[in-house]
Amino acid sequence: MFISPMLLQEAASPPADYANVITELKLDGVRLIYSNITGTPKLFTRHSLDVTSFFPEISFISLPKGIVLDGELISVNKENKPDFPRLMERFKSVNTAIPIQFVAFDLLFYKGRQITQLPLIKRKTLLNTVIPTDTITMVTSQWVEGNSETYFDVVKEYDLEGIVVKKPQSKYHFGKRSNDWLKIINYKYRMGKRSELVGKETGHLLYNKAGYKLQLMEYKAQKNRKKLYEKYRQYMKNHIS
């Protein structure tokens, strides 16, 4: 079952820091819906393309029946950062030697019931019961309360794409853009990285079967995320305490 995902409203800068906000890392990948209502998992892009067969390592993960997840599909490079061109190589060649990871940040259906009217903070709590332990192919998105300005400073220092700021009481609106969910882009990163590709539309890549020989890299999915949060905590201690 395809679900049109909720969209992000872009903001020029992070909102003023306050406690009642959820701040997450914006990952440079492809939006992906994981749907397992009937017991047969399906994977869809935000444009409703069925890409289940392209990512068997995700569709084969054993998760409870009756759930729908919203998240981001990424592939990391040798610096353990999300790498969009590398992900596109995986799309083009369907080369499973290029590792990918699904980062789930929302739960839309639970035990066969739509829960989009529940507050985001409640949905995230339920999400942690669906995915209790991170694996190399599927993790839950890490978030912090408030401090979006400080978090954005750390993201820029690490040369990552940006942050997402969400209201913890926000509901999920299918296919709509809302000020409840904001994205703040690190444009230095965008200009440097995205010059390699034009746009993020992947539909035209899905049927190109040309093979590519890529160097196999050690995949440490959580290393960069742990380093980022260590840096974030250190920054917070030095500048806020």
* Set 26, 92, 124, 193: catalytic member: 26
Query: Rounded to 5 degrees, what angle do the CA atoms 87, 93, 95 make?
Result: 75
Q: How many residues does the chain have?
A: 241
Strand ranges for the chain from DSSP E: 7-10, 22-26, 30-36, 42-45, 67-74, 101-110, 113-114, 138-140, 143-145, 162-166, 177-185
Helix axes 148-157, 223-239, angle to 10 degrees: 130
Nearest-angstrom CA–CA distance, 100 and 73: 7
Q: Decide: 186 and 160 in contact? Cβ < 8 Å.
A: yes
What is the phi-psi region of residue 191: left when phi exceeds 0, alpha when psi lies from -120 to 50, beta otherwise?
Answer: alpha
Q: Which among 106, 145, 136 has a CA at the least distance from the CA of 233? A: 145
Question: Which residue intervals of 102-222 are DSSP H helices?
Answer: 120-130, 148-157, 187-193
Q: Is there a catalytic annotation at residue 200?
A: no
Which residues are catalytic, by number? 26
